[in-house]
Amino acid sequence: MRLIGLVACTAALVLSASAPSFGQEDAPANDAAPTEMAAGPPSSGQLSLTLRDAIAHALERNTDLELVRYDPAVADYAERSAWGNYEPVFGSDFNYLSANVPTASGFSSSGDRRVYGSTGIRGILPLTGWEYSFGYNGQKDSANSAFVSLRPEYRSSLSGSLVMPVLKGFLYGLPWIRVKLAGKDSEIAHERFRGNLMDIVRGTEDAYWGLAAAGRGFEVAKKSLETSRALLKQTQAQFQVGVVSKVEVTEAEAGVAERDYELIIAENIYRTAQDGLVDLVFGPALTPTSSLEVVVADSPDGYQAFQVDPTVATEKALTNRPELITVERQLEQQRLRLQFAKNQRLPQFDLVASYTTHGLSGEEDPNRICPESFQGLPCPPLGIPKNYGDSHHQFFDGNDNRTWLGGARLSIPIGNSSARSNVRISEIELHKAETLVERERQSIVAEVRKAVRDLLSSVQGIEAAERRRIAAAEQHRAEQIRLQHGESTPFDVLQREADLVQAERQKILALRLYHGSEVALSRAQGTLLEDRGVEVENEKGGRIGK
């Protein structure tokens, strides 16, 4: 049975202090504990948030995770329920009988008073499917027949029985198959939950670095607007002294208007990114009137140009991916169903055995009729103990009051078309499950190959974007100097400034792609929780993650 059974109210995130820095060489280290928000996050103002804190709060409050965090616990209880079929069942009954029956024979009793009952346990043995029972029976009889020697008469017995399937029901009985299937369901539920955890972590990282990129883009747009306004002011001053024409002033004014529009778009993108991160990390804190602004505390500028071996990455993925483990467990379930179907095709052949030991006691009736009575002689003593408890002593005193039973039962269905059809159905479903596993493997290989390429190209893209940004900045500076010497126009300066803005945006996008590619590779390998040092602890002390 699986150790882990997640319960929502007891789930807690642990981010290891030794966790990797997500491929950032220059990113500031922050080993502090997640931000304390006992009363919940604020609905307004600014909140500085590290990536570690964002992941921690997302796993605590994310509503998408809340929808699935109960599934592993439910699956664990379902497995425990399946094992419950093998728990012994205790049963007991107690009865009192009073019967007055008219009779015309002196050998029959016209009145009978009986107190009787039984108690015992019965159950099924795991794996073998053997059915067992152990019981105790006791009764007290008080009959008014003259031919009854004991009044009252006490009887008791201990018995045990065993029914042993040899063909159908042996090893692959329905209760045992249910236990094995429930165990696989539990593993599947935990793997799916682990996959959901990784998706939440990946989504949080994407939203975090997306907000960082949107914030950078917003700042670039504001800086570009300020630069264009300064250029307009300079051009207007030059027009007043007759250095430039009215056309150049109009060009500068158009540049301001264009950048004002770009700032509006950039701000909208930034606000949308804010909402996206707040929704993922704080959930209910996102309200129609909330004005909470998250400040990204980690710098997105750091990156690491490391080499990734696609073969090693693929091996990790084939070992750790929850999606592959899930379909492999489903394949194992289908193999169990096929074995069960084949077992149900067999004849029912059971061996049966039982053993019972008896005890007898009671009060001798002095008026009883015996053979000596017909000769006028008193009945000889029976030598039977009087008390009810004395009957129990006979269970183990070595007498011959025993009943043994041994036998066999055979049942052969004629035709058996239902069982045969179920075997064929299970074989087809098994083939489908095998194909699904193969398809998942191929999908993972393709996903890892793409993730490796994306990560390597993103590093190259950052370096290329930086070279372009440096060149654009130098061209813009040179164009401004030319304008000061009357060798250029505001339009040319605006063009150079637009090239610089585009280069800066390309650098921002390249960094954004790097962080997205880095987390995508960890997700593709199935090692994202371990790479981020994420653990989720449950009520039993079991953990998912590191």
539: pLDDT strictly greater than 60? no
Read off the pLDDT of each residue in 79-96 and give the average, rounded to a whole number: 94
Cβ-based neighbour number of residue 211 at 10 Å: 26
pTM, to two decimals = 0.79
Dihedral angle computed from the Cα positions of residues 317, 323, 325 and 329, in that order, rounded to the nearest 10 degrees = -160
Contacts 24+ apart (CB under 8 A), 419-423: 419/341, 419/344, 419/345, 420/345, 422/341, 422/344, 422/345, 423/338, 423/341, 423/342, 423/345
137: left (phi over 0), alpha (psi -120 to 50) or beta: beta
Of 120, 121, 160, 115, give the one whose Cα is nearest residue 138.
115
Residues forming a β-bridge with 14: 535
Burial class (CB within 10 angstroms; exposed 0-12, middle 13-18, buried 19+) of 101: exposed
141 pLDDT band, cuts 50/70/90, is: confident
Residues 6+ away with beta carbon under 8 Å from 420:
345
Q: Characterize 378-389 residue by residue with b for buried, 16 or more Cβ atoms within 10 angstroms of its Cβ, and e for exposed.
A: ebeeeebbeebe
Q: Which of 12-21, 22-31, 80-89 tops mean pLDDT?
A: 80-89
Q: What are phi and psi of 530, to 5 degrees?
A: -65, -40
pLDDT of residue 310: 92
pLDDT higher than 70, residue 543:
no
User: For residue range 45-72, what is the model confidence (pLDDT) as tens digits?
Assistant: 888 999 999 999 888 877 777 788 888 9
Sheet with 543-545, strands from edge to edge, namely 12-15, 534-537, 543-545
- Contacts for 459 with CB less than 8 Å, ≥ 6 apart: 303, 304, 305, 514
Confidence of residue 29 (pLDDT cuts 50, 70, 90): very low
Query: Residue 10's closest CA among 72, 77, 75, 52?
Result: 72
Interaxial angle between packed helices 51-61 and 174-240, expressed in degrees from 0 to 180 and rounded to the nearest 10: 130
Between the CA atoms of 416, 420, 426 and 430, what dihedral angle is there, to the nearest 10 degrees? 150
Q: What SS3 class is residue 98?
A: strand
pLDDT tens digits for range 456-485: 999 999 999 999 999 999 999 999 898 888
Band (pLDDT 50/70/90 cuts) for residue 312 is very high
CA distance 142 to 98: 10
242, pLDDT greater than 90: no
Q: Does residue 162 surpass a pLDDT of 90?
A: yes
Q: Which residue has the tokens 């539920």?
A: 189
Strand-pairing partners, residue 163, are: 131, 352
Across the range 12-17, mean pLDDT stands at 40
pLDDT of residue 260: 95
| pLDDT tens readout for residues 255-305 | 999 999 999 999 999 999 999 999 888 877 778 877 888 999 999 998 887
Mean pLDDT, the chain, rounded, equals 85
Q: Chain centroid to CA 200: how far? A: 14
Question: What integer pLDDT is reported at residue 1 of this predicted model?
Answer: 38
Q: Which of 231, 239, 263, 235 is nearest to 494 (CA)?
A: 231
Taking 3-state DSSP, the helix, strand and coil percentages for the chain, each rounded to the nearest 5, stand at 55, 20, 25
